[in-house]
Amino acid sequence: MRLFSRYNLSGVADVSFPGFRTSPYAAHSCAREARSGTPAAVLHPGAYRLEKLLHSLLFVSLALLLLVTGCATTDTALAENEPEPVVELEVEPIPEPEPFYCPFCGAEIPEDSVFCHKCGEKIEDFGKEKPWHVPESLDELIGEWTGETGVIINYPDYSLGTWSRMLSFAWPERDATALWDRYAEDNGLSADDMWEKRNVYRAAIYGDVQSDENGSQSGYIVRRDYYGNIYDQRMLFVSEKIIRDNINFFLVSPDGSQIKMQGIFRMFSDMNFTINGIGALYSKVEEETEPVMWGTEW
């Protein structure tokens, strides 16, 4: 675009833009400034509108700049103050309580039970060592019991051939071959002849079987092996009444697998026979054995 310049009479440059007409106000202003000697640039009225538009654009630009800057600052602040993301933890479901069983009998009972509704045992006593006790009945003595000294107790013992419930004491078996041979030699007998009539010679060697009016008996049983050796074993059969009279002589373990002797076992009869079993311990034999008939041999 080409500018057109001219000088007025007062020597003041008057700048105008093609296509724009000078307003009377501008001409008057130029004349006045010409008189005062101050140069003045006379612009078309459209130039003021353009200047106002530029001011508006500048204001809008500044506002947008401030808005963008503020948003960026706000985003940064929010990003800095943003809380950490919440991590959701997987919670395992609570398992159902397992059934509770009585430690004594195995019955299923409530977990907070104090006593078992089936066996009556106190749950908190499980694992505690229970004391030995005197038998409440003779049934606690049922079975075969082997002692530390080799003595065997058996209850009930029906080997006498009666229906009475007897308790028997059997002392360890011993080799009696020399005893029988000496008797045969002293009396001019052979071992075979003696064995054929063993019940007669047994009484001659050991004495008669001691019997009491209450049914108790004491004596020996004998047997002969394949090689001709003779063995004897001392036996004592006690009636049920005598067992009850000596019930305090026995102590039974908490689990019923052992019995212990205390004090003196008395016959309370004319036999005047006692057993000193203080401290003797007997264990129950699980396997059942056939009873040996009184006075018989293998």
CA distance readout (Å), 107 to 98, 111, 164, 265 = 14, 12, 38, 40
Mean pLDDT value of segment 120-146? 84
d(CA 251, CA 243): 13
Structure tokens belonging to residue 246: 């000596």
Lowest mean pLDDT among 69-73, 151-155, 175-179, 294-298: 294-298
> β-strand 258-261 against 13-16: which pairing, if any?
unpaired
d(CA 200, CA 180): 13
Percent of the chain exceeding pLDDT 90 equals 24
Enter the pTM of the model. Answer: 0.54
Mean pLDDT value of segment 39-65? 65
Q: pLDDT tens digits, residue range 148-168?
A: 888 999 999 998 887 888 999
Residue predicted with more confidence, 19 or 108: 108
The per-residue pLDDT for 40 is 47
Q: pLDDT tens digits, residue range 189-209?
A: 988 889 999 988 998 999 888
Mean pLDDT value of segment 96-119? 80
Reported as a pLDDT band with limits 50, 70 and 90, residue 21 is very low
Cis peptide before 131 (omega within 30 of 0): no
pLDDT at 223 over 90: yes
d(CA 104, CA 162): 38
pLDDT at 222 over 90: yes
Burial of 79 per CB tally in 10 Å (0-12, 13-18, 19+): exposed
Spatial CA neighbour of 130 closest among 259, 266, 8, 252: 252
